[in-house]
Amino acid sequence: MVISTRGKLIIALIVVVCTIGLLVRTAVTLASTFYVTVGQLYQEGASAENQQSTVSGSIVGPSVKWDPGTRLLTFAVEDQTGGRQLPVVYHGSRPDNFSNNWPVIMTGTLTSNGTFEATNLLIKCPSKYTAATQ
């Protein structure tokens, strides 16, 4: 069976389009990170242990401990509604804007002892605008 030049061109075009489609799908999937709250992480229970998760919460100010020598940052986060606190351990530089009650998004794993070992921290700036009182 002989395939004409036009047939080869059509096959090559189909392969290129499929490859580009696969690359776009992969990029969108990896770029869209979904995160859970502290409460949702605890609801997952043992199934969340040793699985990479992205968790959102607010920094609990009195819990923050920073050791610049070992670059170890330990703190706790909680949901915006309060409730349970999640102890967090992070090895790396302390973010400059690391403050009490600021929202944080962390990527890491929950250990069997209930500590979240963060590999990435994203500190979000809290809203500077509040509703006017009437």
Predicted confidence (pLDDT) per residue in 31-74, tens digit: 666 788 888 888 887 877 888 889 999 998 888 899 999 999 99
**pLDDT, greater one: 129 or 105:** 105
Distances (CA, A) of 60 to 34, 63, 91: 22, 6, 18
Model pTM?
Answer: 0.68
Q: What is the mean pLDDT of the chain?
A: 85
pLDDT of residue 30: 64
Q: Cα separation of 133 and 64, whole Å?
A: 33
Is residue 123 within 8 A of residue 95, CB to CB? The reply is yes
Distances (CA, A) of 99 to 7, 41, 50, 65, 88: 63, 23, 28, 12, 15
CB-based contacts of 72, cutoff 8 Å, min separation 6:
66, 89, 90, 91
pLDDT of residue 14: 96
